[in-house]
Amino acid sequence: MAVHSTDTTGAARSASVTRSEKSELTRSRVGSAWLFLAPMLILLALVAGWPLVRTIWFGFTDANLADLSNWKFVGLDNYIAHYEGKWSGLLVDPEWWRAVWNTVWFAAVSVALETIFGMVIALVLNASFPGRGLVRTAVLIPWAVPTIVSAKMWSWMLNDQFGIVNDALMKIGLIAHPLAWTANPDLSMISVIMVDVWKTTPFMALLILAGLQMLPSDCYEAARVDGINPVKVFFKVTLPLVRPAVMVAVIFRALDALRIFDLIYVLTSNSKDTMSMSVYARQQLVDFQEVGYGSAASTLLFITVGLCIILYMVAGRVQLEKE
Amino acid sequence: MDLRKHAALIAGGLSAALMTIGLAHAATISISCGAVGKELEMCKTGAEAWAKKTGNQVKLVSTPDSTTERLALYQQLLAAGASDIDVFQIDVIWPGILANHFIDLSKAAGKAADEHFQPIIKNNTVGGKLVGMPWFTDAGVLYYRKDLLEKYGAKPPTTWEELTATAQKIQDGERKAGNDKMWGYVWQGRAYEGLTCDALEWVASYNGGTIVDPAGKVTINNPGAITALKTAAGWVNTITPKGVLNYGEEEARGVFQSGNSVFMRNWPYAWNLANSADSPIKGKVGVVALPKGGANGRNAATLGGWQLAVSKYSKNQAQAADLVMYLTSAAEQKRRAIEASYNPTIGSLYKDKDVLAAVPFFGSLYDTFVNAVPRPSTPTGTKYNQVSSEFWNATSAVLSGQTDAAAAVKSLDEKLSRMSRGGKW
């Protein structure tokens, strides 16, 4: 990378000497750049582009999993259709909207909690204390465990009859009767969010910690000389400076949270109380064999995630410009 | 070295080469087996016995416990035309959905097909093709604790109302005596196919039909169904832990077999496990037919059971079909019945002395098994999964108290009628 960039500046300098030289050099550079990029682009098109286009296309057909080669084009029928005086399709399916609401609610709450806890942990880990290296590694463990494993582990721990969570809470007297964490409709979403926060807070902490360690020390020295109290230092110095790092971390997490599948599916299966957009799409695609309808749902999921990220980035940029 | 020696060496080499060709011809057959209770172990011993007998090899692929998830896995494999699995263990409700991917077994079966229960053979025949050989049948039964019922002077219940009263009485008594983990009744309440089985039993026992009748008409909105769902919702948090809304078969067995429940609804496989050497309730378990819905109701058990099918993408179809015939034969079904209480699909085995000695209720509940209530997978065809999903979701909402029974069956009726385009499916 470094060699490449010095090379570019060198080329730019020499290119400014004569015009013809510049265009020839640029042309050959652009050519070789494409050549080097080609394998990557082809790979991306194959593993990301083709499935995406295919899914969007299937969304306009009545394809069925039993026989994928036999389908016909149905236009927007999977999204909305008027049949015998009744509207049908995804856009009028209350279950789809419930899944959208579940997903957005899950993403907002879990990412907010993870950001707060991640910030606290990052601040602690940023201070120097004996055994810091060990603690930094230990904190990462929940994130390193594969989701499917940790979800199954939690589903046993949260079991109402022989789960350790109920046992512990009852022993210290916080609850009188065992709670059905994953079965009770009022508790199941809370359980899902709790496990997700447990699992991904370390990831947030790590990203924010990386941001914290890049902060210049002179601001802090100036603050110390002026005798500003630590709380004010955090809000006036640390937070504004670390904001770009937090923004990136939040985008990563939000992207991830909006397409949540594994955790919810393992903990609560196809229950409507916690069904996310991905769980909904999978149920249509696989359980009901409705590849067309399920692909339409996947397409909407893709659009929703895209919209959320665009909104977030626009909001972030507007605020940055104001400052 | 003289010529003769050369000739002998060459001949030796040739015969060795021929032998390896002979060995290479023996196939490796992959079979998918469930892993509920002793299932995997039984499948393994059975398949290995066949391998030993025929000189082939077998590879076992274990699949998810939940039938809903298992179907999802199969569909992904089969839709991709994967040849990784030769023999599939398929649920009684799947022949219609998966028929496209399996070979016709009627030739391989020959007369063997006549020995099996004919309704199952009929169920497994799609468009004239026998897509699966019956391996074991299933029907929901009621397990109870003989010792506890005796202690409280109660008889095995014949109606759901009796069950509720008995369960409540024993649960209260045992909790007073110090076992505060005691519950009255556990069953399968998670939002999955198992809940459809349990709820269909409640509805059918109150003469509320089978959701969709054989002609395809949606029948769920009726007083029997409403009473049934109301009764079941009344159990949750009184005689049944609220966590049951996330229980499958094995979770229910976990509670019952640890001695923490008076009654359990489950399939026959739990009998052998509840009486195994390390079971805390060994010898204390009785089995009867599931109760009737009120005095005018009927005993209803949902028909379950599994078939073996051969994938049309298999590279060794002949050997795979041979394995299927071996595993579904009377001798193997007898072994499975005795060692792991799997219900045979061959009528004569229900009169077999050894089988009855191992699993006495096979005799007393013969009628239950033969007259089990089928889920509406035949009239609804490929839409069955959607029907079942709507049904278990509606039931789940009633059980968790989010909707009342009457409103739930009314909206379910509307949804299913729309889905069926007025009963035409």
Measure A297 CA to nearest chain B CA, in Å.
16
Residues of chain B neighbouring A54 (CB-CB closer than 8 A):
none
pLDDT confidence of residue A320: 57
Which 92-111 residues of chain B touch chain A by CB within 8 A? 97-98, 100
Pick the CATH number of B3-137+305-360 from 3.40.50.720, 3.40.50.10420, 3.20.20.80, 3.40.190.10: 3.40.190.10
Residue A173 lies in a domain: yes
Residues of chain B neighbouring A66 (CB-CB closer than 8 A):
79, 97-98, 100, 382
What's the average model confidence in pLDDT over B322-336?
96
**Does one domain contain both A15 and A119?**
no
Residue A257 lies in a domain: yes
**For chain A, how many structural domains are there in total?**
2
A270 vs B75, B191, B258: nearest CB? B191
Q: Which residue of B lies nearest to A67 if distances are taken between CA atoms?
A: B79
Tell me the residue range of the domain where A17 lies: 2-58
Beta carbons of B334 and B355 less than 8 angstroms apart:
yes
Residues of chain B neighbouring A161 (CB-CB closer than 8 A):
181, 241, 243, 254-255, 260
**Predicted confidence band of residue A21 (pLDDT cuts 50, 70, 90):** low
**Does one domain contain both A294 and A171?**
yes
Domain final residue, candidates A17, A37, A58? A58
Say whether B258 and A162 touch across the interface (CB within 8 A): yes
What's the average model confidence in pLDDT over A255-272?
90
B382 vs A68, A160, A289: nearest CB? A289
**Does one domain contain both A42 and A112?**
no
Total length of chain A: 323
Here the tokens at position B418 are: 């729309």
Of B176 and A10, the one with more pLDDT: B176
Beta carbons of B263 and B143 less than 8 angstroms apart:
yes
Which 312-351 residues of chain B touch chain A by CB within 8 A? none
- The CA distance from B101 to B86, in Å, is 11
What's the average model confidence in pLDDT over B278-306?
94
Domain final residue, candidates A35, A58, A81? A58
Q: For the whole model, what pTM was predicted?
A: 0.79
Angle at the Cα of A198 from the Cα atoms of A197 and A202, rounded to 5 degrees: 90
Residues of chain A neighbouring B393 (CB-CB closer than 8 A):
272
β pairing state of B133-139 and B303-310: antiparallel
Say whether B389 and A288 touch across the interface (CB within 8 A): yes
Residue partners of A151: CB distance under 8 A and separation at least 6:
A195, A262, A263, A266, A267
**How crowded is residue A226: how many other Cβ atoms within 10 Å of its Cβ?**
8
Residues of chain B neighbouring A178 (CB-CB closer than 8 A):
241, 243
For A191-222, what is each residue's pLDDT tens digit? Answer: 999 999 999 999 999 999 999 988 888 888 88
Pick the CATH number of B141-302+374-419 from 3.40.630.10, 3.90.226.10, 3.40.190.10, 2.60.40.10: 3.40.190.10
Three-state DSSP string of chain A? CHHHHHHHHHHHHHHCCCHHHHHHHHHHHHHHHHHHHHHHHHHHHHHHHHHHHHHHHHCCECCECCECCCCCECCCCCCCEEECCEEECHHHCHHHHHHHHHHHHHHHHHHHHHHHHHHHHHHHHHCCCCCHHHHHHHHCHHHHCCHHHHHHHHHHHCCCCCCHHHHHHHHCCCCCCCCCCCCCHHHHHHHHHHHHHHHHHHHHHHHHHHHHHCCCHHHHHHHHHHCCCHHHHHHHHHHHHHHHHHHHHHHHHHHHHHCCCHHHHHHHCCCCCCCCHHHHHHHHHHHCCCHHHHHHHHHHHHHHHHHHHHHHHHHHHHHHHHC
**Predicted confidence band of residue A7 (pLDDT cuts 50, 70, 90):** very low
Residue A107: CATH number of its domain:
1.10.3720.10
Measure B250 CA to nearest chain A CA, in Å.
13
Averaged pLDDT of chain B: 90
Measure A74 CA to nearest chain B CA, in Å.
18
Q: Which of A163-167, A196-200, B2-6 has the lowest mean pLDDT?
A: B2-6
Instruction: Using CA atoms of B341, B345, B347, B348 in order, give the dihedral in degrees to the nearest 10.
Output: -60
Residue from B188, B244, B246 whose CB has the most chain A CBs within 10 Å, to mutate? B246
For A291-311, what is each residue's pLDDT tens digit? Answer: 999 999 999 999 998 888 888
> Given a cut of 60, is residue B368 above it in pLDDT?
yes
Instruction: Using CA atoms of B310, B311, B315, B319 in order, give the dihedral in degrees to the nearest 10.
Output: 0
B246 vs A65, A88, A183: nearest CB? A183
Say whether A68 and B79 touch across the interface (CB within 8 A): yes
Residues of chain A neighbouring B244 (CB-CB closer than 8 A):
183
Give A67-70 contacts, CB < 8 A, sequence gap 24+.
Answer: A67/B100, A68/A291, A68/B79
Among candidate residues B388, B337, B300, the one with its CA nearest the CA of residue B92: B388
Here the tokens at position B416 are: 């299913």
The single-letter code of the amino acid at A212 is L
The single-letter code of the amino acid at B227 is T
Q: Which of A160-164, B28-32, B141-145, B273-277 has the lowest mean pLDDT?
A: A160-164
Q: Does B181 touch chain A (CB under 8 A)?
A: yes
Residue A240 lies in a domain: yes
> Given a cut of 60, is residue B360 above it in pLDDT?
yes
Q: Which of A10-14, A67-71, A192-196, B126-130 has the lowest mean pLDDT?
A: A10-14
Say whether A159 and B251 touch across the interface (CB within 8 A): yes
pLDDT confidence of residue B380: 87
Question: What proportion of chain A, given as a percentage, has pLDDT over 70?
Answer: 91
> Given a cut of 50, is residue A183 above it in pLDDT?
yes
pLDDT confidence of residue B278: 92
pLDDT confidence of residue A178: 85
Residues of chain B neighbouring A81 (CB-CB closer than 8 A):
none
Q: Which residue of B lies nearest to A162 if distances are taken between CA atoms?
A: B255
Residues of chain B neighbouring A180 (CB-CB closer than 8 A):
241-243, 245-246
Q: In B127-270, at which residue ranges do the beta strands (DSSP E only) sit?
A: 129-130, 133-139, 141-145, 183-186, 261-266
pLDDT confidence of residue B224: 96
**Does one domain contain both A27 and A148?**
no
Q: Which of A271-275, B104-108, B195-199 has the lowest mean pLDDT?
A: A271-275
**Does one domain contain both A43 and A98?**
no
Q: Which residue of A lies nearest to B392 if distances are taken between CA atoms?
A: A271
Among candidate residues B153, B146, B145, the one with its CA nearest the CA of residue B186: B145
Residue A287 lies in a domain: yes
Say whether A183 and B418 touch across the interface (CB within 8 A): no
B241 vs A66, A67, A180: nearest CB? A180
Q: Which residue of B lies nearest to A188 if distances are taken between CA atoms?
A: B246
Residue A69 lies in a domain: no
Q: Does B282 touch chain A (CB under 8 A)?
A: no
**Does one domain contain both A139 and A40?**
no
Residue from B188, B196, B245 whose CB has the most chain A CBs within 10 Å, to mutate? B245
Q: Does an H or E element contain B94, and which?
A: none
Place of tokens 């699966």: B132
pLDDT confidence of residue B5: 54
- The CA distance from A183 to B247, in Å, is 8
Three-state SS for B88? strand
Task: Provide the ipTM.
Answer: 0.73
Q: Does an H or E element contain B31, and which?
A: strand B28-33
A160 vs B66, B243, B400: nearest CB? B243
β pairing state of B129-130 and A81-83: unpaired
Beta bridge partners of B285: B145
Give B111-148 as a DSSP string.
THHHHB-HHHHHHHEETTEE--EEEEEEE-EEEEEHHH
Here the tokens at position A131 are: 């055994």
- The CA distance from A10 to B325, in Å, is 77
Beta bridge partners of B32: B61
**Predicted confidence band of residue B66 (pLDDT cuts 50, 70, 90):** confident
**Does one domain contain both A228 and A109?**
yes
pLDDT confidence of residue B6: 57
Helix A185-213 and helix A132-139, axial crossing angle in degrees, nearest 10 = 140
Give B317-321 contacts, CB < 8 A, sequence gap 24+.
Answer: B317/B86, B317/B103, B319/B27, B319/B29, B319/B54, B319/B56, B319/B86, B320/B29, B320/B86, B320/B87, B321/B103, B321/B105, B321/B108
**Does one domain contain both A17 and A136?**
no
**Does one domain contain both A128 and A256?**
yes
Say whether A160 and B241 touch across the interface (CB within 8 A): yes
Q: Which of A275-284, B5-14, B163-172 has the lowest mean pLDDT?
A: B5-14
For B377-416, what is each residue's pLDDT tens digit? Answer: 888 878 898 899 999 999 999 999 999 999 999 999 999 9
pLDDT confidence of residue A9: 47
* A to B CB pairs, distance under 8 Å: 85
Residues of chain B with CATH 3.40.190.10: 3-137+305-360, 141-302+374-419
pLDDT confidence of residue B229: 97
**Does one domain contain both A182 and A240?**
yes
Q: Which residue of B lies nearest to A176 if distances are taken between CA atoms?
A: B180
Say whether A286 and B244 touch across the interface (CB within 8 A): no
**Does one domain contain both A94 and A27?**
no
Q: Which residue of A lies nearest to B396 if distances are taken between CA atoms?
A: A271
Measure B17 CA to nearest chain A CA, in Å.
44
Beta carbons of B36 and B251 less than 8 angstroms apart:
no
Chain A interface with B: residues with Cβ < 8 Å: 64-68, 86, 88, 159-162, 178, 180, 182-185, 268-272, 282-283, 286-289
Say whether A178 and B76 touch across the interface (CB within 8 A): no
**Does one domain contain both A201 and A267?**
yes
What's the average model confidence in pLDDT over B140-151?
96
